[in-house]
Structure 1
Amino acid sequence: MFDTRTAPYAALLLRITLGLLFLAHAWLKIFVFTPAGTAQFFASLGLPPALAYVTMAWELIGAVALILGIWPRLAALALVPILAGAIATVHGPAGFWFTNPNGGWEYIAFWIVGLVTLALLGDGAFALRPTPIRPVAR
């Protein structure tokens, strides 16, 4: 059963929580690790250092879009590749458990599930610009 009275608020809560998580991770890369340090870390993984700047910008833009509700379904799906890349390069080789050295991939995978759930659930209450979705004919 789907409760149409509370579901928009559930999506709002999920949307804001996911946005705040991305905001925190962008903040960490910018103000703690610094952009140059983040670029060096990306280079140590064999990735182009410029990808670090793209990642930080993508996280910031995605976080703001989720929090404000600007095309949140699309923003949620657009953020999945960032996390998939984190699993492929850092967290996947560390194993499943997030408490492993270098953090495993369990938390990141759960985060991806949250993003996909939001994309399926909908924009939620108080979205500034809902994602244009055409209704499915039945």
Structure 2
Amino acid sequence: MIDHRTAPYAALALRVALGLLFLAHAGLKIFVFTPAGAAQFFASLGLPPVLAYITMTWEVAGGLALILGILPRLVALGLVPVMLGAIVTVHGPAGFWFTNPNGGWEYPAFWTLALLVQAGLGAGAFALKPTLGRAPADGAAFA
């Protein structure tokens, strides 16, 4: 049973937490590793260096969109490939534990699941542009 009184606020909390995590990870790439350093790291993985810039841009844009509640279902789904890419290229080969060198895959896998849950839940409370389409018939704030 879903508590329709609190669920919109739970979805809000998840949405904001996910957005802040993406901003933090983008900030790590931008301010600590530097964009050029992130591009070099991507190249060392056999990926095109430009993909680092695309990833950083999408992490910032996606993080802000989640926090503000701008099409969060679509944004959450759009960020899943970023997380899957991180699992396949860096964290998966490192094993399960995130304390392993290069971090394991359990944290990005959980993060991916949280994005899918957000996409399923919808925007929750206080979203600027919650979703495409019509509002729920029961008047709940899940859009």
- What do you get for the CA RMSD once the two structures are aligned? 1.5
Structure 1 alignment gaps of length 5 or more: none
Check if 1:72 corresponds to 2:60.
no
* Cα distance in 1 for residues equivalent to 2:134 and 2:12: 21
* Cα distance in 2 for residues equivalent to 1:101 and 1:126: 39
Letter in 1 for 2:21: L
Check if 1:97 corresponds to 2:104.
no
Identity of aligned residues (%): 74
- Write out per-residue CA displacement over residues 79-101 of structure 1, whole angstroms, 9 at most, x where no aligned residue: 00000000000000001111111
Specify the alignment match of 2:52 in structure 1.
52
- Write out per-residue CA displacement over residues 87-132 of structure 1, whole angstroms, 9 at most, x where no aligned residue: 0000000011111111100000000010000110111100000111
Check if 1:113 corresponds to 2:118.
no
Specify the alignment match of 1:43 in structure 2.
43
Letter in 1 for 2:35: P
- Write out per-residue CA displacement over residues 24-71 of structure 1, whole angstroms, 9 at most, x where no aligned residue: 000000010000000000000000000000000000000000000000
* Cα distance in 2 for residues equivalent to 1:118 and 1:42: 28
Structure 2 alignment gaps of length 5 or more: 137-143
Q: Runs in 1 of length 4+ with deviation above 4 angstroms? A: none
